Amino acid sequence: MPIRPEMRPRYPPDWPQISRRIRFELAIGRCECDGRCGRRHSGRCTAEHGQPHPATGSRVVLTVAHLDDIPEHCDDDNLAAMCQACHLAYDVELHATTAARTRALARISPDQQVLFPEGELP
């Protein structure tokens, strides 16, 4: 999954190398999700990079998930290679929170005083 431009500074400069190592050396090109994403697959997801996804049929592009949702935390034990479906399902709450923050900020007119700086909305 592409990194949004505003998030890029939170990732280390060598993120492409870290991501490649996690996906292809440690995970050997396979989704590492063991069901923690909440999708219904028994055991480890069988999706493989470049192959049709076993559930959706779309071509799998393996991604790397931060298990604690903190992009700066790039220790191996905090990273997992996941297919797009598992990664999106795993991050569903994070995406909902981000979308709510984006909608809230969009409602603020340019001349309105901001009570909560970005990233600090309750």
Structural domain includes residue 56:
yes
The pLDDT of residue 7: 82
CA distance 2 to 102: 18
- Residue 73, domain extent: 8-106
CA torsion 40-90-78-26 (nearest 10°) is 50
Structural domain includes residue 121:
no
Structural domain includes residue 1:
no
Structural domain includes residue 86:
yes
Contact 66, 7 (CB under 8 A): no
Q: Name the pTM for this structure.
A: 0.76
Structural domain includes residue 3:
no
**Mean pLDDT value across residues 57-78:** 94
The pLDDT of residue 107: 76
Structural domain includes residue 111:
no
The pLDDT of residue 28: 97
User: Could you tell me how far CA 85 lies from the centroid of its own chain?
Assistant: 10
Instruction: Tell me the pLDDT band of 62, cut-offs 50, 70 and 90.
Output: very high
CA distance 61 to 30: 10
Count of domains in the chain?
1
